[in-house]
Amino acid sequence: MATHFLPVSTDGESERGVPPPDRIISGSPTFTTWNVEEAPGGIYAGIWEATPGKWRIEYDEWEFCHILSGVSVIGEDGGAARTVRAGDSFVLRPGFKGSWEVVETTRKEYVIRTA
- Region 58-86: mean pLDDT is 97
Q: Residue 3's pLDDT is what?
A: 84
Q: Residue 2's pLDDT is what?
A: 74
Domains of the chain and any CATH numbers = 16-113 (2.60.120.10)
Q: Residue 102's pLDDT is what?
A: 98
Q: Residue 87's pLDDT is what?
A: 98
What value does the mean pLDDT of the chain take? 96
Per-residue model confidence as pLDDT tens digits over 39-58: 988 999 999 999 999 999 99
Q: Within a 13 Å sphere around the CA of 110, how many CA atoms are in the beta-carbon half?
A: 21
CA angle (14, 48, 52) in 5-degree steps: 110
